[in-house]
Amino acid sequence: MKIKTYSLLLIILLFSGVACTDLEEVWYDAVVPETFFKTEQDVKAALYRSFTHARWYVQEDRWQLQEMTADQFAITTKGPHWYNGGENYRYHYHQWTVNDGWIWGTWRGTLMGVALALDTKQDLEKLDYTTVGLTDQDKAAHVMQLQTLIAYFYLRGLDYFGGLPIFTSNEGENIPRSTDKETFDHIENLLLEAIPSLPKKVAGEKEEGAIRQAGAATMLAQLYFNAESYIGESKFAECATVCQDIIDGKYGDYTLDPTWNGVHGFYNNESPEVIWSAPSEFNKLQYDWMWNRFYHYETFKYFGLDGGAWNGHHLQPSRKPTGELYTEFKLGNPYEKFNDADLRKKPYLYKGGGKYEGMFLVGDQISPYGTSYGTQEYKDEVISFVDMVATFKRVGTDYPDVASLPSTMANGEENTGVRLVKVPMPNLADESLRWSADNTILRLAEVYYMLAECKFRAGDKESAASLINSVRARYFEEGNDPDPVSAAYLDKYRFLDEWGVEFLAEGRRRTDLIRWNMFTTENWWDHEASNSDHLRRFPVPQDALSGNNALIQNPGYN
């Protein structure tokens, strides 16, 4: 791979949505940072381009690879919709190929993120910041934020693919992949160097998308936390040290949010728990990609909003078509893993003035703002989302009774599956709040859970349970948790349940299953274990192999 300045600039323009209105050409005999950076705003604009890519990167294909290959979400075929050439099935059944789109998008997006951040970092390193009214301290913070972004993209790429081509400049052709250990060490070195030069958060400051010390430290903890999966070495002790330092305030002032919905609510930029987030605002870099995929064609009526959706994603079912809970497997059953007293388990309802309750669309879709009606199998009937997957409308014609209905990826209907409202929706009266919840990427609760798991693996179940319960308490009235974690009953399944409930739909489930060695060895709804270890990593996409003959495919993929 050879990344040239002019082609990189084209990539930046394409992904930043910049429109050219002045087409008069200006030619320079030399390209230097001073050519581009004449004001503080110019510097920040360059910095923001890399962060805009990161905002895109944490959504879409990367999220799909984490969640649609695991035990909590599915995209079932609903009547004539969502078969998608079988792609959705391939991910669910762990039968993906080197030509599948989400994998190529992730490989390309990872290395593009590295290239964008590295290119800007090198330009800013050459710039005399005093010429644009900034200080050397500003320069160090900007450069090290970009270095942390580079580490973040490599960290995610290591998780998806293993070792990657390591770029230290945007020069060179057909760079081969480095080993897993070399990639791991590169990430570690980038983060350790960056942390001291990044700013610390002071209590009360809002999160506006910048990476501070705790953000880089949390990435370092994530790297150590999954080291066994990445390089076959246990680094849980190192992870525990970093996590404890974050909790103790070494890298800035953070506390757990005391409210059940503060981390993902309309005003989550004010949450004391959020460590790093991608800003979102109505009509400005909206965090809205889940809208189309999760909601029914007429869910907008239930919300009291406008605009339809695609009716695709939903939680995997906890119940059989007969209504009985699945007991054949310990993973999955995501909706029923929430205790009935959990404030999140209430049906979502916007209460006005930025207040709301619940996190799910389940049951009859009737609200004070409107009613959602079916348009397919349930045409003109009130839509009632069910925690089951089956073609109930075919009973009496194709099937004699409910007990005979199959429940697979191919058997959905338009009301199939509980829908998630992780990002709250206002009504039209408060439309200015729409998409005002930022996309939380890193938060303190994850640090608590990482530390808890490290304690558990070291044999200290009491401390592990206490850390988890300190997070769980906010989800119950007056903190009265009817099912707290206890040391006596804390095992790997309860641990994965806790990860799944707290971080539902936050784009990490596959990684957690792999760390516990359950991604390829356990069953869940309509998914049988493959026991094929090579599936713990995705293949290098065919498009990447075709463009760089120095790349070597991961084992197990032809």
Same domain, yes or no: 177 and 295: no
Q: Let me know if residue 438 belongs to a domain.
A: no
Same domain, yes or no: 162 and 305: no
Nearest to 123 by CA among 187, 169, 56, 157: 169
Which stretches within 40-135 are classed as H helix?
A: 40-57, 60-67, 87-92, 101-126
CA gap 321, 390 in Å, rounded:
6
Boundary-marking domain end, from 400, 427, 454: 427
Same domain, yes or no: 406 and 307: yes
Q: Let me know if residue 119 belongs to a domain.
A: yes
Same domain, yes or no: 188 and 294: no
Written as tens digits, the pLDDT of the chain (558 aa) is: 333 333 343 333 333 333 333 434 444 444 456 667 999 999 999 999 999 999 999 999 999 999 999 999 999 999 999 998 999 999 999 999 999 999 999 999 999 999 999 999 999 999 999 999 999 999 999 999 999 999 999 999 999 999 999 998 877 678 999 999 999 999 999 999 999 999 999 999 999 999 999 999 999 999 999 999 999 999 999 999 999 999 999 999 999 999 999 999 999 999 999 999 999 998 888 999 999 999 999 999 999 999 999 999 999 999 999 999 999 999 999 999 999 999 999 999 999 999 999 999 999 999 999 999 999 999 999 999 999 999 999 999 999 999 999 999 999 999 999 999 999 999 999 999 999 999 999 999 999 999 999 999 999 999 999 999 999 999 999 999 999 999 999 999 999 999 999 999 999 999 999 999 999 999 999 999 999 999 999 999 999 999 999 999 999 997
Whole-number pLDDT of residue 169 = 83
In DSSP notation, 500-556 reads: HHHTTTSS-HHHHHHHTT-TTT--BTTB-----GGGGSPPPPHHHHHH-TT--PPTT
Q: Are 155 and 225 a contacting pair, CB within 8 Å? A: no
Q: Let me know if residue 175 belongs to a domain.
A: yes
Strands 370-371 and 363-364: unpaired
Task: Give the chain's domain count.
Answer: 2
Q: Let me know if residue 52 belongs to a domain.
A: yes
137 three-class SS: helix
Same domain, yes or no: 37 and 139: yes
Boundary-marking domain end, from 406, 427, 448: 427
Whole-number pLDDT of residue 99 = 96
Whole-number pLDDT of residue 421 = 98
Whole-number pLDDT of residue 283 = 83
Rounded to the nearest 5 degrees, what angle is found at the Cα of 124, between the Cα atoms of 120 and 130?
155
Whole-number pLDDT of residue 365 = 98
Whole-number pLDDT of residue 170 = 75
420 three-class SS: strand
Same domain, yes or no: 181 and 44: yes
- Encoded tokens for 351: 């209460």
CA dihedral 167, 170, 175, 176 (to 10 degrees): 20
Phi–psi pair at 93, nearest 5 degrees? -90, 5
Q: What radius of gyration do the chain's Cα atoms show?
A: 24
Same domain, yes or no: 171 and 308: no
Same domain, yes or no: 295 and 194: no
Same domain, yes or no: 34 and 139: yes
Which residues, including other chains, have CB under 8 Å from residue 441's CB and lie 6 or more apart?
58, 275, 276, 277, 278
Same domain, yes or no: 293 and 194: no
Which stretches within 162-235 are classed as H helix?
A: 180-194, 213-225, 227-231
Q: C-alpha distances in angstroms, 413 versus 70, 389, 409, 421?
A: 21, 8, 11, 20
> Could you tell me the CATH number of the domain that includes residue 125?
1.25.40.390
Q: Let me know if residue 65 belongs to a domain.
A: yes
Q: Let me know if residue 216 belongs to a domain.
A: no
Q: Let me know if residue 474 belongs to a domain.
A: no
Same domain, yes or no: 324 and 188: no
Give the number of other CB atoms < 10 A from CB of residue 157: 22
- pTM confidence score: 0.93
Boundary-marking domain end, from 367, 400, 427: 427
Same domain, yes or no: 173 and 310: no
Whole-number pLDDT of residue 35 = 65
Nearest to 53 by CA among 21, 16, 23, 87: 16
CA gap 250, 273 in Å, rounded:
15
Q: Let me know if residue 102 belongs to a domain.
A: yes
Residue-range definition of the domain harbouring residue 400: 289-427
